[in-house]
Amino acid sequence: MSAAALVRGRDPAPAWFPAGIRALYDTEHAFVIVNAFPLRDTNVHSYRTDPSYISLAPMLKRYDEYAVWVYNGTNQTVNAQVIGNVTNDQSYPDYTIGSAYTVGSGAANMYVLAEDAALTPFISLSISANTAPTSGYVYAVVIVE
């Protein structure tokens, strides 16, 4: 566990984090929203369906912009949609933020969203695939600035 994580009482960064994102996580500029999700079907998955892998990140501080970094480690193309909500207790429906996009097998993409175009108290991601993957995992991080 890093000294920064111990001081703040925050869980250590997941082992799969690239070094640059690990540094952002330690300074509280990155939040995990999809933690090694084993996508194996064509259903839409979100924090509502799979809370042990997919979570909501709090965006309650003021940020000028934020980005969603998605890494698709599966063997199929993954569909991703940034979603938001006004609460973190599932009492209101989610809303989409920006357009849906695809992430190719073994690829990583980053989508930058300006605060004025995507202001939301909580942010997450919904993911699916048109063809069910048979191996690999999906990862996603919100990076704030």
**What residue spans define the domains of the chain?**
30-144
Specify which residues 142 forms β-bridges with.
31, 68
| H/E stretch holding 102 | strand 101-103
Amino acid, single-letter form, for residue 50: D
* Strand pairing report for 108-114 and 78-85: unpaired
Cβ distance 77 to 119 under 8 Å? no
Structural class in CATH, domain 30-144 = mainly beta
113: confidence class by pLDDT, cuts 50, 70, 90: confident
- Per-residue pLDDT tens over the stretch 36-65: 999 999 999 999 999 999 999 888 777 778
Average pLDDT score, the chain: 86
Q: Is the pLDDT of residue 8 over 50?
A: no
Q: How many CB atoms lie within 10 A of CB 62?
A: 8
| Distance of alpha carbon 138 from alpha carbon 133, whole angstroms | 10
| Distance of alpha carbon 109 from alpha carbon 72, whole angstroms | 9
Note the Cα 43 to chain centre separation in Å.
17
Q: Is the pLDDT of residue 7 over 50?
A: no
**C-alpha angle 79-116-64 in degrees, rounded to nearest 5:** 95
Cβ distance 96 to 83 under 8 Å? yes
* Percent of the chain predicted with pLDDT > 70: 86
